[in-house]
A and B are shown apart, each in its own frame.
Chain A
Amino acid sequence: MISRTKAAYAYIVARTKVMKSRLLKAEDFRKLLNMSFDEIMRFLEETEYKKEIDEMAYKYSGPKLLDYALFSNLAKTHRKIYSVSFGDAKILIGNYLRRCDVWNLINIIRGKNANLPAEMIEETLIPAGEFSLEELRSMLSKEIGEIAKELEGTIYSEALSKIGSAPMSVVEDELWKSYYKAVLSVKTNDFESRVFTHFVKMEIDLRNIKTILRLKAEGDTVEEIIARVIPGGYELTEDEARKLATMSFEEITKALEGFWFWKVTSVQDLSRLEIELDKNWIEAIAKRAGKYPLSVLPVLQYIVLKRVEVDNLRILGWGKYHNIPNEEIEKEMVIL
């Protein structure tokens, strides 16, 4: 007899499989690359993005319309995944999607600091996390201090308590660290927690290596780099990160050989390197999702792939609208 947890995963994975089959394939992107911006929009109007494009068309046009429609669709997809899941899977997915809350909090604080109207800040929000749109709207009407007070006792309170005493960049990074700390501490059954934690740790590795290389390229000190590293990586632990931070950029690229995310042959520039790392990460996720088909991994893989699709479409839209050559656009895209 199939256990209740397995049955839950079988259902959710089946739902995400259907959603995954609707994702654009590599050949679709190659086809889109040869289209003009208007043709791309027409193509997308025949896909699941139609509703969002129509909804936003009264307010925006050109690549901004595409951008907001993509953001809106991404939020809708996240909400849908969360709503179709149940049991342990819902807990894990819900926690993973709290990243949208971090994003929204950061945007609200930035907007409040710049004294921007609430409508302008609201346009940058993705209401797909724990906070509903109504909660986010109520935050928009409050002062930063009031928001911090309201969130006392949550995972964000420690980071938010630094507002005013630390630079905003530190507060933002602390919010992300709090998110990862909370996500890593989520406990369901043993196997599920292990698989989920492994996935999150891999993501932490990826974010950490990007941070280390980015700061190292600018010549930042070891302490400055370590302060921005998220604790709890899979292979890139804090000790490893410290070791790498003491090396020169060239030494780091050599020392990274053997790490799961490092299949890079040459380091030309950091943005290309980030794309390479993302590709390696997606491949690693796919491998693990294939290994554990009845787990939360296929769902998380879909969330990542959806994000990549949205990113690719955005790059295509902006690139085509501004007549960037196809080769340049393709270089910026993560096509697998």
Chain B
Amino acid sequence: MAEVQPTRMELIKLRRRIRMAVRGHSLLKMKRDGLIMEFRELLEEAKVAIQKMVENYNKAQQKLLIAMAVDGFPALRSIALSCCRIPPSFTVKKKSIMGVVVPVIKREKVARRAIEKPYGILSTSVRVDEAVTAYEELVDSILEVAEIETTIRKLLEEIERTKRRVNALEYRVIPRMKELERFITFKLEEMDRENIIRLKKLKMKKAKR
């Protein structure tokens, strides 16, 4: 505080900074609330997507089990050999939610028709198709959950950062600047009073002469 020059110019500058900080504080508060609202909406979406993924996983496991029981483990392993070289393809784009850059995973449909699958129709049963389709759907829902989860994580980081800024402005920056304003005002008033007294004393001295 001692470093600050208690001048009118400094007071004007400080008041301008306080006004800006208050405006920034309210904007950040609004951003934080907006992000929280967005986060809540996404949370609901995530719940649905995760629920769907779990259902798809259970379904895929069951279908695989039935395919394994009907066609046999060696047969399923052999079919898996022909499928394991095809990774799911997707492209990652970006979008902005209140300035937060989040990924948008453009999924290229993983699920394929029986004719497009990498194994012959004649050497497999429909249960294999069902198991493969169930797992392709599972990959689709995993990608969907991955997209939502990444968005949620980024939003949470941003909410945390915004919250820290709001708190810093509310409890540290603005109070300190206001205290400084009070200090400069007090100092300026003090200087005014000193000047008046000095002038009065000069006037009295002049009158005595």
Contact = CB atoms under 8 A, between A and B. Distances in A.
Contacts of A61: none
A322 B122 CA distance: 28
A101 interface: no
A270 B124 CA distance: 13
A169 to B, nearest CB: 5
Interface in A308-327: 311, 314-315, 317-319, 322, 324
A215 B74 contact: no
A168 B118 contact: yes
A326 to B, nearest CB: 13
B125 A173 contact: no
A315 B69 contact: yes
A315 B70 CA distance: 6
A149 B145 CA distance: 48
Contacts, number: 122
Nearest to A315: B69
Interface residues of A, number: 53
B186 interface: no
The SS class assigned to the B binding surface is helix
Interface string A39-83: 000000000000000000000000110011011000000000000
Given A63-B73, A114-B81, A271-B130, A168 B65 contact: no
B72 interface: yes
A70 B72 contact: yes
B29 to A, nearest CB: 54
Contact of B72 (A67, A120, A218): A67
- For A71, A171, A318, which residue has the most chain B Cβ atoms within 10 angstroms? A318
Nearest to A102: B123
Contact of B125 (A116, A230, A274): A274
Contacts of B72: 67, 70-71, 311, 314
Contacts of A322: 65
Contacts of A123: 74, 77
Given A114-B85, A167-B118, A215-B114, A106 B123 contact: yes
B65 A324 contact: yes
B84 interface: yes
Contact of B126 (A176, A207, A220, A274): A274
Nearest to B124: A172
Contact of B118 (A120, A169, A207, A274): A169
Given A67-B72, A218-B115, A318-B69, A173 B82 contact: no
Interface in B101-126: 113-123, 125-126
Interface in A92-124: 102-103, 106-107, 110-111, 113-114, 116, 120-121, 123-124
Contacts of B74: 67-68, 71, 107, 123-124
A116 B74 CA distance: 14
A90 B70 CA distance: 30
Given A218-B113, A271-B130, A110 B65 contact: no
21 contacts: A67-B72, A106-B120, A107-B81, A111-B81, A124-B75, A171-B120, A172-B119, A172-B120, A176-B123, A210-B125, A215-B121, A224-B115, A228-B122, A230-B122, A271-B127, A271-B130, A311-B70, A315-B70, A324-B65, A324-B69, A329-B69
Interface of A: 63-64, 67-68, 70-71, 102-103, 106-107, 110-111, 113-114, 116, 120-121, 123-124, 167-173, 175-177, 207, 210-211, 214-215, 218-220, 224, 228, 230, 270-271, 274, 311, 314-315, 317-319, 322, 324, 329, 332
7 closest Cβ pairs, A-B complex: A172-B120, A318-B69, A110-B81, A124-B74, A176-B122, A114-B81, A67-B73
Given A68-B74, A228-B115, 11 more contacts: A64-B73, A114-B84, A114-B85, A124-B75, A171-B120, A210-B125, A228-B121, A271-B70, A274-B125, A318-B65, A329-B69
